[in-house]
Structure 1
Amino acid sequence: MKRVDKKAFLAIPLSTMLVLAACGGENTNDAENDPNNMNETTENAPEEGENNNETAMDEEGAVDADPDEPIAIVNGEEIPMEELQMQMSQYEMLFAQQGMDPEDEENAAMIQELQQDILDLLVNQELLNQEADAQNIEVSDEEVEEELDQMREQFEEEEEFEQALEMQNYTLEQLEDDIRQMKRVQELQTMAHLDEDQYTVSEDEAREYYEEIVMSNPEIGEFEDIQEDIENELKLDLYLDDLREQAEIEILI
């Protein structure tokens, strides 16, 4: 019985999802075995038991809930259930393409964990969006359109691109908004607005983290080749930890 790795799916970017939708899943094995698993979204997922909402969702999950109901409030800003539902619908399609049986006990447990991880990621995303606002980070329409053009180039016809969006229950406006937010957060994650020595990571800490990830991904490369990337990612984790500690976060499910 086929099972999939949850972290591999959490690392899949939107552009990959659109391609998978268009291709009917023929390249999903590439996504599952993607060596670039050093993605901030997976590393910021909560440790087991970190949030007290781990058993809050019933067996039906978020699928049948009111999309307008908030699932969390971050510094006074509500995150609607619709965002979690949209994320889950994208993953459910990928699971189906993988031939995953949702009734399988292990897969069902993985889906429940995935919902909790996505909820935590949505909270992190809202925190980063708010911080981008605070730092007055802007993204031009031209930058958004350039990113869109790169996505469109993966399709032979514009109609195929539109069909991929429809299959993901996604509108062009939503995609443009997400691209804008993504690029704002990417600029924020350069941490250029912070003092250079505000966050420090030792070589021992970086090497320890490397040893953890190389166990599940031996093709990631030599430590010396990716040391700087690892140190930057760990600094980002520290930065996000600070944002969470300073924030008022209420989980409602």
Structure 2
Amino acid sequence: MKLKKVLVPFMAGALALGLAACGGEEKAETEEKPKEETKQEATNEQGATKEQEASAKEMEEKLAKQQVDKDKIVAVVNKEELTGEEYNAALTSIQGQMQQMGQDPSTKESTKQVKAQALDILVNQTLILQKAKEAKITASTSEIDEEYSAFEEQFGGEKEMKKALEAQNMDVKTLKEQVAESIIFEKYLEKVAPTEKITDKEIKEYYDQVAAQSKTAGQEMPPLEEVSEEIQGIIKQEQQQKLLATHVEELKADAKIELKI
């Protein structure tokens, strides 16, 4: 749901912090080198950093141009209007995912692709939440508070959490609303896309496949018993996604959808 879109930039920020820490280790190594060599390297690094900053700024400007006015109606789903604010959130998430995969979301072809995906995500989520509301599926205060507390802990406390929210132009109320939507979505998913029990054989087959790929890439997988529960979750998610995709197409067939951009 929207919550997942919001968390993508957070994870990117955490990665940036990790890279910064690695940079500190590299700095310690350079202190052992001759001063002239270190000075030259520092000059080269500064030049490279400026180029990277300029390139990042240019990319940021290109991606910002793909956004629309936050109050603009981008789509209407069964008389429910979807705004540019929601669209921009989905857009930013997809752009970030593409960059993480080494793709350029600013090309002419990618711009069309990102727009189509963002609208599709919004329409699908809206249809699901509408049906969940019809089914009177709700999220209790205790469920919301429990989920919110987990995010607070993830970010190192309330203070750091609020800083992260501010960086995304959000507040606690908005986040809790999105937490509620996420809980409702998961409940609805369990209702319309129930999965069969995952067998040990399926888990082992999945593990062997991933282990073979990891070996080819020169990596070693942890023992099966350490990742069995995680693999079970992945297989379950894949099953649900297939079932949900079919369900959403059925919802679309009966819905009135009007795209405005």
Distance across 1 between alignment mates of 2:252 and 2:101? 35
Provide the aligned length of Structure 1 versus Structure 2.
192
Deviation at 1:92, TM superposition (A): 5.5
Q: Tell me the equivalent position of 2:260.
A: 252
Cα separation, partners in 2 of 1:60 and 1:181, compared to 1, 3 Å: closer
Cα separation, partners in 2 of 1:84 and 1:26, compared to 1, 3 Å: farther
Cα separation, partners in 2 of 1:241 and 1:95, compared to 1, 3 Å: closer
How do 1:6-155 residues align onto structure 2 when only pairs under 5 Å count? 14-15=6-7, 17-21=9-13, 24=16, 26=18, 61-63=65-67, 65-89=68-92, 105=107, 109-155=109-155
Distance across 2 between alignment mates of 1:26 and 1:231? 33
Q: Give the structure with the larger helix fraction.
A: 2
Q: Tell me, yes or no, if the aligned pair for 2:73 and 2:82 is still in contact at 8 Å.
A: yes
Q: Tell me the equivalent position of 1:178.
A: 178
Cα separation, partners in 2 of 1:159 and 1:97, compared to 1, 3 Å: farther
Q: Tell me, yes or no, if the aligned pair for 2:132 and 2:184 is still in contact at 8 Å.
A: yes
Taking structure 2 as the reference length, the TM-score comes to 0.59
State the superposition RMSD in angstroms: 4.1
Deviation at 1:83, TM superposition (A): 0.9
Gaps in structure 2 of 5+ consecutive residues: 20-62, 197-201, 215-220, 222-226
Taking structure 1 as the reference length, the TM-score comes to 0.60
Gaps in structure 1 of 5+ consecutive residues: 1-9, 28-58, 201-206
Question: What percent identity do the matched residue pairs reach?
Answer: 24
Deviation at 1:243, TM superposition (A): 0.6
2:76 counterpart SS class: strand
Cα separation, partners in 2 of 1:167 and 1:93, compared to 1, 3 Å: farther
Cα separation, partners in 2 of 1:122 and 1:243, compared to 1, 3 Å: same
Q: Tell me the equivalent position of 1:160.
A: 160
Distance across 2 between alignment mates of 1:26 and 1:19? 11
Distance across 2 between alignment mates of 1:95 and 1:227? 24
The structure, 1 or 2, with the larger RCO (C-alpha pairs under 8 Å, 6+ apart) is: 1
Distance across 2 between alignment mates of 1:229 and 1:100? 25
